[in-house]
Amino acid sequence: MEYRNIGNSGLRLSAITFGAWAAGGWMWGGTERKDAVRAIRASFDEGVTSIDTAPIYGQGDSEEIVAEAIEGLGRDKVQIITKFGMRWNLAKGDLAMKSRNNRGEAIEVYKYAGRESIIKECKDSLRRLKTDYIDLYQIHWPDSTTPIQESMETVAELIKEGKVRYAGVCNYNTGQMKEADKYVNIISNQVPYSMIKREIEKTVVPFALENNKSIIAYSPLERGLLTGKMLPGHQFEEGDHRANLYYFRDENLEKVNSFLNSIKHLADDRQASLSQLVLRWTIEQPGITIALAGARNAIQSVQNAKAINVKLYPDEINFITAELNKLELVR
């Protein structure tokens, strides 16, 4: 595994980090707890020491699964990344969505990052994770109802108290990152980035490179779309959010799979999977420090971890990007 420094901090994360959204089940059609625990432990055995989770993932389930999975590994051997600012049990802030929890009950999710809420969320996360500190604490989404200053000064307090080591943000634009950085050292921005979602290359990536901030890319496999395993006519389980995304329309599945076939020979040459090739390309892109890779079982998590063994030459990276630039999806 490769380990990379995050921003200007002393925090080092595994270049492939375990993304525990799907492990929490919420919006993924449920979860099998034992499989999720095995997935995290199997990835750790492959050198994946960093795990990204959030309270909203399964409304606490994901964080509890992470705690169970890392028990006995040694707290200093793993890096826990979690978030705040998505409340399903407090109707305050911006309404983000109406959803259902893992039991099928209706819930309303709010983006809220007021001081008292962050303090409570941190306490609850520490309890669920069975730890006394969080390595990287991130605001999950911007909250238009709370000043960034209030949110970030609260995280700075948590750092002084030793409950948090470093501060990060998620889904922030460059203006929001500049503002947040005034009140606490922001070392990273976790944003969506994949072969078919490259908008951040225009502004967020240049800002990160110029200001020594790391980008943690989430959904680099675009929720399974870039694995080459999803064919037209694919049926999602009830509650799986992907069923409503335009990427997964049959015509787009055909286009994406055609692109993947055009680069498959590079994976075959290395006896690697398309998923591994995609992950390696992702962490080779300028400004992309970490790729989050989710898995719901040990086979998937081990395959993701082994993506680090795929080596690409500059001309091969350029070839992949050139083929990618020809891809046009239908909205």
Whether 150 contacts 133, CB under 8 Å: no
Local structure of residue 236 (DSSP, 8 states): P
Q: How far apart, in whole angstroms, are the C-alpha atoms of residue 131 and residue 143?
A: 27
The position carrying tokens 């978030």 is: 83
Q: Phi/psi class of residue 290: alpha, beta or left (left: φ > 0; alpha: ψ in -120 to 50)?
A: beta
Neighbours of 38 (CB within 10 A): 18
CA-based angle 66:41:234, to the nearest 5? 85
For 16-156, strand residue ranges (E) read 16-19, 50-52, 79-84, 86-87, 94-100, 106-111, 134-139
Interacting residues of 324 by C-beta distance below 8 A, sequence separation 6+: 195, 196, 259
Determine whether 193 is an active site residue: no
Of residues 3, 57, 218, 313, which has the active-site annotation?
57
Helix (H) or strand (E) holding 154: helix 148-160
Query: Annotated active-site positions, please?
Result: 57
